[in-house]
C-alpha cells in the first residue's frame, strides 16, 4: 500500500510540474491548438488515468493527437493544429461519414439513388471532402479521463442523406486502454461507417519501422481488392497467404511477397473480417514490440479491422518531436464495416434509420509482456 501511495504521489508531482510548464506529458503545448478555424475555436483536451497513461485530443477532426503509455508517445501526429489542416493527413482522425471507398460515388437506398461527391477516380473516398476529419467538433462533456465531442452533419452533406448527429467519447480507462465510443442518429435513412485512423508505433520510436513487431489477428478472411483498390465483393481466405496472422509473426516477414493483393497496396492495407462476431470482450488483434516489452490488444464491436502498415509514409513530413515519419513507421487498426457496403448486398449493412441509434466501441489496451 505504501509503495502504491508513493508511486501515486510521484505521478501527481510529475503532473504538477508538467502543468506548471503548460505542457502535457507528451510535450504538447495546448496553446498551439488554441486557434480559430472557420469561425470556430479549436482546442486540445488532456485525459489521464492513475497509471500515468495520457491521451491528448483535439476537436479539429476529433483527433487523437498523442497517447503516452509507460512514458512514451505511441501515435504519430503534429504538435500544432495548423499542421493538421495544412497536410490533411488522417493522423488520429475520426473518418466519416463513410470510411473507405464507395464505388461509382453512388448508392441506392429504399429505391432512391443518392449521388455522392466524387473525390477520386469515380469513387467517394472517406466520405468526400471536407469529411469528418476536416470539421471542428463541439466539446459537450469533459472529465479528467473522458471527453465527448459532437458533430452534426447536414442533410445532403457531400451527397449523404439525413441530418446525422454523431457523439464520440474518448476515455482513458483504468485497464490502461484508450476507449473510443460512437453514437449516431439520423433524420432520414442513410449509411454510416466511422473509424478512428490513428497510426500506432507502440515502441514509441517513431523513427523506426514496425516490421519487426509481432502481429496476431483474429481473422480467417480478408476482403479482396481489384487492381484499382476497390472491393470486388469477394472474400479471400488467409490460410497459406501473407495475410495469415492467426499465429503471431513479424509484420515484415511476408509484407513484400509476390502476391496480387500486396501488389495493389504495396504492403498491408486490407480489411480483415473478424471472427469475434461483434464481441468486444474477445481480442480482435494483438501487436507486440519485443524490444520495448510493450503489447497492445484491440477489442471492437465492429465486424472488420482494416490494417494499414504506413506504406505511403515517405519521411518527408515533419511530425511531433521533429521526427519525419519514414515508410512503415506505424500501423493503423481501423475498426469499421466494409467499404462499399451500400453497393454490396452480401456485406454487413451500414444502413441507419430514423429512430435507431448507431453504437460502436473499440478499445486499444496496453500491457507489458510477461
Instruction: Return the active site residues.
Output: 197, 334
- Residue 36's φ and ψ, nearest 5 degrees, are -125, 120
Q: How far apart are CA 320 and CA 318, in angstroms?
A: 7
Euclidean distance between the first and the last CA atom of the chain, given in angstroms as a whole number = 23
Q: How far apart are CA 32 and CA 82, in angstroms?
A: 8
Q: How far apart are CA 157 and CA 114, in angstroms?
A: 12
Q: Taking a C-beta distance cutoff of 8 angstroms, is the pair 219, 238 a contact?
A: yes
Identify which of 32, 187, 191, 168 has the alpha carbon closest to the alpha carbon of residue 108. 191
Q: How far apart are CA 361 and CA 179, in angstroms?
A: 7
Q: How far apart are CA 22 and CA 28, in angstroms?
A: 9
Q: How far apart are CA 24 and CA 47, in angstroms?
A: 10
Q: How far apart are CA 116 and CA 12, in angstroms?
A: 50
Q: Taking a C-beta distance cutoff of 8 angstroms, is the pair 178, 67 a contact?
A: yes
16: its cell numbers: 504538477
Distances in Å between the Cα of 351 and the Cα atoms of 150, 185, 188, 210, 276 are 20, 11, 10, 36, 21
Q: What share of the chain is helix, strand, coil (3-state, %, to 5)?
A: 15, 40, 45
Amino acid at each position: 500500500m505504501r509503495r502504491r501511495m508513493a508511486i501515486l504521489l510521484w505521478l501527481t508531482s510529475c503532473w504538477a510540474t508538467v502543468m506548471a510548464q503548460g505542457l502535457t506529458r507528451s510535450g504538447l503545448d495546448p496553446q498551439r491548438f488554441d486557434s480559430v478555424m472557420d469561425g470556430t475555436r479549436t482546442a486540445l483536451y488532456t485525459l489521464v488515468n492513475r497509471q500515468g497513461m495520457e491521451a491528448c485530443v483535439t476537436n479539429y477532426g476529433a483527433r487523437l493527437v498523442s497517447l503516452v503509455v509507460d512514458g512514451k508517445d505511441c501515435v504519430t501526429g503534429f504538435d500544432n493544429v495548423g499542421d493538421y489542416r495544412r497536410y490533411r493527413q488522417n493522423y488520429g482522425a475520426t473518418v466519416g461519414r463513410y470510411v473507405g471507398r464507395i464505388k461509382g460515388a453512388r448508392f441506392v437506398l429504399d429505391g432512391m439513388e443518392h449521388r455522392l461527391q466524387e473525390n477520386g477516380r469515380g469513387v467517394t473516398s472517406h466520405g468526400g471532402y471536407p469529411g469528418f476529419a476536416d470539421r471542428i467538433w463541439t466539446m459537450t462533456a469533459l472529465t479528467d479521463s473522458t471527453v465527448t465531442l459532437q458533430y452534426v452533419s447536414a442533410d445532403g452533406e457531400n451527397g449523404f442523406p439525413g441530418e446525422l448527429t454523431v457523439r464520440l467519447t474518448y476515455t482513458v480507462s483504468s485497464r490502461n486502454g484508450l476507449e473510443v465510443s460512437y453514437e449516431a442518429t439520423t433524420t432520414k435513412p442513410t449509411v454510416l461507417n466511422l473509424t478512428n485512423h490513428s497510426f500506432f508505433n507502440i515502441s514509441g520510436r517513431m523513427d523506426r519501422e514496425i516490421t519487426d513487431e509481432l502481429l496476431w489477428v483474429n481473422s480467417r478472411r480478408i476482403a479482396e481488392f481489384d487492381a484499382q483498390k476497390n472491393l470486388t465483393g469477394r472474400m479471400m481466405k488467409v490460410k497459406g497467404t501473407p495475410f495469415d496472422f492467426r499465429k503471431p509473426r513479424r509484420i515484415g516477414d511476408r509484407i513484400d511477397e509476390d502476391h496480387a493483393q500486396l501488389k495493389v497496396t504495396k504492403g498491408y492495407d486490407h480489411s480483415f473480417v473478424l471472427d469475434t462476431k461483434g464481441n468486444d470482450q474477445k481480442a480482435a488483434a494483438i501487436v507486440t514490440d519485443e524490444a520495448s516489452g510493450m503489447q497492445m490488444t484491440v477489442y471492437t464491436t465492429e465486424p472488420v479491422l482494416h490494417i494499414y502498415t504506413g506504406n505511403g509514409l515517405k519521411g518527408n513530413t515533419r511530425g511531433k518531436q521533429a521526427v519525419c515519419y519514414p515508410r512503415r513507421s506505424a500501423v493503423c487498426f481501423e475498426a469499421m464495416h466494409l467499404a462499399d457496403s451500400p453497393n454490396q448486398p452480401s456485406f454487413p449493412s451500414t444502413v441507419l434509420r430514423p429512430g435507431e441509434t448507431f453504437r460502436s466501441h473499440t478499445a486499444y489496451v496496453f500491457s507489458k509482456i510477461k
